[in-house]
C-alpha cells in the first residue's frame, strides 16, 4: 500500500482517447489499497490556443497577468474534469480538484507564481474515501483567492510539491522519454538510461542544458526528499529515480552525465580600463535586466595601456536585452569593442563523484584534444566541468566525452 503522485503532461492527455488511456494505465498499475493522486496538464496545445485567443483582445496579453492566469487555469480544469470522468467510467471513484482546491497556496506573482504553502486537507479526505484524486497541475491560488499559474514546468513542480506535502512514497513523472540519460540520446546514440541520479546532480544537469526536468521541480523533490521517478508514458519499464543518495552501486561512473547547451552566446567587452568596480558595473547592470551571466573570464589585454577583456556567456534568448544594457556601458567606459559570438556551445560533465577523483578534468580535455576541438572558456563547479566550444563541434564533443567516461562494454 503506497501513496503515489503521478504526473502526466499535456501530450499524454491531448485527446479524449488519450485521457481514457491514461486512466486505463493508472488503473492497471494500481495495487489494492494504493492511494493515487494524478496531476495533469492542459490538453495538448490548448494552453497555446488560449494564449492565441487572448491575443485577439491584445497583442501582448501578458500585460494583464492576473487575467492571463484566470484564462490559462481553465486549460487544466478541462483535463481534470475529463480524466475524473474517465476513471468513473471504469467504475473507479474519482474526483477532480483545481489548484485552489488542493490548497496550493502561491504568492501573487501571476504567470510565474511561487508555491508558499500547501494545505492538502481536501486531497487527504478524498483519498481516505477511496477516490483517485485528479489534480490540475501548473496552478495555485493566492491569498486573495485568485487563480495563479506557476510558470514553465509548473505541472512537474505541482506534482512534486504535492507529493511532498502529502508525504507520498514517490512522485512519478511520465514523459515521452524513458528516463534520464547519460547524454541526450538524440545527439549521442551511445547514451545510457541511468537507474538513479541524485537531486544535486540532476539540478546541475538541468542547469547545464539537460531538458527533461525543470530545475524547480527537482529542488522541490530535494526539499521534501521525495523520490522522483522519471518514466515513459509509452512503456511500463522503470525509468530513472532522482533521489538523495544512490541505493545501488553503479560502479565506475564518477560522471553521471554529459550535458550540452547550444543556446549560448558569448560576449566580449574588449579593451576595458583595468580598474576596480568595472566588472561590478557591467554585471550589476545585466542582473538588473534579469540577464543571467554564466561563464566569466577576465584577462589582461595590454599591461602598458592597463586594459583588459571581459568575456562571458549568456543564454541566447537574453541577447537583445544584454545588447541594450551593454551599449551605453561600452560608450561610457570607452571600451574598444563589444564582440558577440553566437556560434558557440557549452559541453559539460556532471557527477558528485568527481570531487574525490582527481584527473577527471584532464580526461575531459584530453577527449576534446584528441578530436582537435578547441576549448574557448572553461568553468567548473564542485560537481561539474564545462567547456565552451564552437557550436558546429558540439555533437562530436559530446560523443567523445561520453565515450571517455562511459566506454562501450
In the complex, the residues that contact its own copies under the rule CB under 8 A are 15-17, 19-20, 50, 53-54, 56-58, 61, 63-64, 66-68, 70-71, 73-74, 77-78, 80-82, 84-86, 88-89, 95-96, 98, 100-101, 122, 145-146
With respect to its own copies, which residue has the nearer C-beta, 20 or 160?
20
Rounded least distance, CB 397 to its own copies, Å? 47
Pairing type for strands 307-315 and 293-302 reads antiparallel
Q: How many residues does the chain have?
A: 409
Residue 289 near residue 253 (C-beta atoms within 8 A):
no
With respect to its own copies, which residue has the nearer C-beta, 53 or 300?
53
Rounded least distance, CB 172 to its own copies, Å? 23
Rounded least distance, CB 162 to its own copies, Å? 17
Judged by DSSP in three states, 166 sits in coil
Alpha helices in 2-111 (DSSP H): 16-29, 46-55, 65-89
Pairing type for strands 240-243 and 293-302 reads unpaired
With respect to its own copies, which residue has the nearer C-beta, 25 or 323?
25
Rounded least distance, CB 241 to its own copies, Å? 33
With respect to its own copies, which residue has the nearer C-beta, 19 or 350?
19
Rounded least distance, CB 265 to its own copies, Å? 34
Dihedral of the alpha carbons of 301, 305, 306, 309, in degrees to the nearest 10: -30
With respect to its own copies, which residue has the nearer C-beta, 15 or 306?
15
Residue 238 near residue 229 (C-beta atoms within 8 A):
yes
The residue with cell 512503456 is 235
Rounded least distance, CB 133 to its own copies, Å? 13
Rounded least distance, CB 343 to its own copies, Å? 40
With respect to its own copies, which residue has the nearer C-beta, 16 or 232?
16
d(CA 149, CA 237): 32
Which distant-in-sequence residues (6+ apart) come within 8 Å of 400 by Cβ? 367, 368, 370, 371, 373
Q: Which three cell numbers stand for residue 369?
A: 584534444
With respect to its own copies, which residue has the nearer C-beta, 105 or 313?
105
With respect to its own copies, which residue has the nearer C-beta, 81 or 395?
81
Pairing type for strands 104-106 and 115-118 reads antiparallel
Residue 4 near residue 170 (C-beta atoms within 8 A):
yes
Rounded least distance, CB 26 to its own copies, Å? 15
Q: Which three cell numbers stand for residue 153?
A: 514546468
The beta-strand segments (E) located in 142-275 are 147-149, 170-175, 196-198, 228-232, 240-243, 257-273
Q: Residue 177: phi, psi to the nearest 5?
A: -115, 165
Amino acid at each position: 500500500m503506497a501513496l503515489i503522485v503521478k504526473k502526466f503532461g499535456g501530450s499524454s492527455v491531448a485527446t479524449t482517447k488519450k485521457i481514457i488511456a491514461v486512466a486505463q494505465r493508472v488503473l492497471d498499475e494500481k495495487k489494492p489499497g494504493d492511494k493515487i493522486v494524478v496531476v495533469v496538464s492542459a490538453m495538448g496545445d490548448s494552453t497555446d490556443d488560449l494564449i492565441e485567443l487572448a491575443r485577439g483582445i491584445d497583442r501582448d496579453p501578458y500585460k494583464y497577468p492576473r487575467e492571463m492566469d484566470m484564462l490559462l487555469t481553465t486549460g487544466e480544469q478541462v483535463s481534470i474534469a475529463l480524466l475524473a470522468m474517465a476513471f468513473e467510467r471504469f467504475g473507479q471513484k474519482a474526483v477532480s480538484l483545481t489548484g485552489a482546491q488542493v490548497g496550493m497556496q502561491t504568492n501573487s506573482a501571476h504567470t510565474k507564481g511561487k508555491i508558499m504553502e500547501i494545505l492538502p486537507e481536501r486531497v487527504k479526505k478524498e483519498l481516505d474515501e477511496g477516490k483517485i484524486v485528479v489534480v490540475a497541475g501548473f496552478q495555485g491560488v493566492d491569498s486573495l483567492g485568485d487563480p495563479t499559474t506557476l510558470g514553465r514546468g509548473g505541472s512537474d513542480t505541482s506534482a512534486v510539491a504535492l507529493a511532498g506535502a502529502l508525504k507520498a512514497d514517490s512522485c512519478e513523472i511520465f514523459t515521452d522519454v524513458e528516463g534520464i540519460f547519460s547524454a541526450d540520446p538524440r545527439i549521442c546514440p551511445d547514451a545510457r538510461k541511468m537507474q538513479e541520479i541524485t537531486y544535486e546532480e540532476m539540478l546541475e544537469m538541468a542547469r547545464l542544458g539537460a531538458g527533461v526536468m525543470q530545475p524547480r521541480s527537482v529542488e522541490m523533490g530535494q526539499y521534501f526528499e521525495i523520490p522522483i521517478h522519471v518514466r515513459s508514458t509509452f512503456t511500463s519499464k522503470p525509468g530513472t529515480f532522482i533521489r538523495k543518495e544512490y541505493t545501488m552501486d553503479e560502479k565506475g561512473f564518477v560522471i553521471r552525465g554529459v550535458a550540452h547547451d547550444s543556446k549560448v552566446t558569448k560576449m566580449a567587452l574588449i579593451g576595458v580600463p583595468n580598474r576596480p568596480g568595472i566588472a561590478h558595473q557591467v554585471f550589476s547592470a545585466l542582473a538588473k535586466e534579469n540577464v543571467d551571466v554564466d561563464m566569466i573570464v577576465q584577462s589582461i589585454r595590454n599591461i602598458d595601456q592597463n586594459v583588459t577583456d571581459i568575456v562571458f556567456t549568456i543564454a541566447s534568448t537574453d541577447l537583445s536585452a544584454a545588447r541594450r544594457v551593454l551599449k551605453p556601458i561600452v560608450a561610457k567606459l570607452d571600451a574598444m569593442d563589444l564582440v558577440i559570438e553566437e556560434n558557440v556551445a557549452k559541453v559539460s560533465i556532471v557527477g558528485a563523484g568527481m570531487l574525490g577523483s582527481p584527473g577527471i578534468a584532464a580526461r575531459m580535455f584530453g577527449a576534446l584534444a584528441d578530436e582537435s576541438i578547441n576549448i574557448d572558456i572553461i568553468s567548473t563547479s564542485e560537481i561539474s566541468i564545462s567547456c565552451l566550444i564552437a557550436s558546429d563541434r558540439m555533437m562530436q564533443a559530446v560523443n567523445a566525452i561520453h565515450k571517455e567516461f562511459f566506454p562501450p562494454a
